[in-house]
Chains A and B, each alone.
Chain A
Amino acid sequence: MTTNLDPGKIAQLLTLSARQLDQSTLSALHSARQNALKRQAVRAPVFALATGRGTHSLIPDSIQQWVVAGLLIAMLIVGTSFWHHVVQEQQISDIDVAILTDDLPIEVFVD
């Protein structure tokens, strides 16, 4: 035997059933709900990366992850300063070549 129940009727039945529960069961359910909400709030990371497979915290939570993050930062700093050095040296060389090949004699620029 099948009975067709629409969602509205189900909600009505649940509300009716909840009213029939005694006070201690209601308070137990209420505290369980509160606990579940608290746990969910703690688990939600502040910095999170949403991917297709859920959320991943961006803050490293193990020593290995901290080491990898540190190495990446160090590489970024070294790479940036190396690039800056290369660009600066290229600019200096451009000027040196210009001084050495200019139609003005070198003495004009040298004290």
Chain B
Amino acid sequence: MRSSVIGVFLLLCFTSTLASAASISWRALSPAQREALAPLDQQWDTLPEIQRSRLIETAKRYPRLTHEQKERFHNRLEKWSKLTPEQREAAREKYRAFNKVPAKEREQVKRMVREQEASKAAAASTVPPVSQTR
């Protein structure tokens, strides 16, 4: 009988761990988690639980990022959180597929994208300012 009680107790522990992992409010986050997820402070409590638990998981990796990566992470986080779950899943699929491409071709694509970005930025900076009528 004692082993049955222990079994039930362990089963309850498992299920409670599963349940408690996700439902965490902004105020309940640790300072390190709040720093990593800072761009989401206003909308955190409105995010679905599954998204919150995934973001908490990503926040664990934040301290190991370089300064540049941390900046990118913060700049993209809000946009990422506003995507639908389907869009995020599609992005993950694309990323997985992209990573299967040979490194040489991947670098080529990255170079092309960087060139496009640079020409876009250059075009934006050369647009003449709209003249004001008196």
Q: Which residues in A have some Cβ–Cβ distance to B below 8 Å?
A: 64, 67-68, 71-72, 74-75, 78-79, 82, 85, 89-90, 92-106, 108-111
Nearest Cβ distance between residue A52 and chain B, in whole angstroms? 22
Q: Is the CB of A78 within 8 A of B57?
A: no
* Chain B residue at minimum C-beta to C-beta distance from A98: B95
Q: Which residues in B have some Cβ–Cβ distance to A below 8 Å?
A: 1, 3-4, 7-8, 10-11, 14-15, 17-18, 53-54, 57-58, 60-61, 65, 69, 72-73, 76-77, 79-80, 83, 87-88, 90-92, 94-96, 98, 109-110, 113-114, 117
A103: B residues at CB distance < 8 A? 110, 114
A100: B residues at CB distance < 8 A? 58, 72-73, 76-77, 80
Do most interface residues of chain B lie in helix, strand or loop, or is the interface mixed? helix
Q: Is the CB of B117 within 8 A of A105?
A: yes
With known contacts A79-B14, A101-B73, A111–B7 Cβ distance under 8 A: no
Q: Is the CB of B14 within 8 A of A82?
A: yes
Nearest Cβ distance between residue B76 and chain A, in whole angstroms? 5
Q: Is the CB of A68 within 8 A of B90?
A: no
Partner of B110, one of A79, A101, A104: A104
Partner of A95, one of B17, B96, B110: B96
Nearest Cβ distance between residue A10 and chain B, in whole angstroms? 51
A109: B residues at CB distance < 8 A? 91-92, 94-95, 98
B79: A residues at CB distance < 8 A? 106
Q: Is the CB of B8 within 8 A of A71?
A: yes
Inter-chain CA distance A68–B8, complex, in Å, is: 10
Q: Is the CB of A110 within 8 A of B83?
A: yes
Q: Is the CB of A101 within 8 A of B69?
A: yes
Inter-chain CA distance A89–B79, complex, in Å, is: 21
Inter-chain CA distance A96–B77, complex, in Å, is: 10
B73: A residues at CB distance < 8 A? 97, 100-101
B3: A residues at CB distance < 8 A? 68, 71
Inter-chain CA distance A102–B8, complex, in Å, is: 45
